[in-house]
Amino acid sequence: MSGERIATIVNQHVPNCGLPPHFESGEYAFLSAFENEHGEQWIAFWEDDELRVRAGELQWDTSRTVNADGTLDGIILSPAERLWLIACTEVCRSFRDRRKGATG
């Protein structure tokens, strides 16, 4: 049925990682969650024409911009984290290109 929850993600991080973010569908054009092999959780979202991430290990209350090549400045990513961010980047690039085509 429309309006039913699809997923609920339980925070796995310790309290000193900060309060986890709360996202609602419809707030963002793109929203993706990822959990690596160590249980570290990441959320990617499209905001203000850029892909951003929040992660428990990077302090939940801080968002970071994802570079066009799927990297994060100053952060060493596992191969799985990097592949996920590359996939997210490709999807968001299509959002950006469609918006430019619609307005340009």
Torsion from C-alpha of 66, 27, 80, 67, nearest 10 degrees: -10
Residue pLDDT, tens place only, 50-66: 999 999 999 999 999 99
Q: List the 50-55 sheet strands across, edge first.
A: 31-35, 41-47, 50-55, 64-65
Confidence of residue 103 (pLDDT cuts 50, 70, 90): low
Cα distance between residue 69 and residue 13, in whole Å: 27
Looking at per-residue pLDDT, the higher value among 25 and 16 belongs to 16
Name the pTM for this structure.
0.84
Residue pLDDT, tens place only, 77-98: 999 999 999 999 999 988 777 7
Q: Where are the domains of the chain?
A: 15-103
69 has pLDDT over 70: yes
Residue 89: predicted pLDDT = 95
Confidence of residue 49 (pLDDT cuts 50, 70, 90): confident
pLDDT above 70 covers a percentage of the chain that reads 95
DSSP secondary structure letters along 13-71: S-GGG-PPP---TTSSS-EEEEE-TT--EEEEEEETTEEEEEEGGG-TT--EEPPTTS-
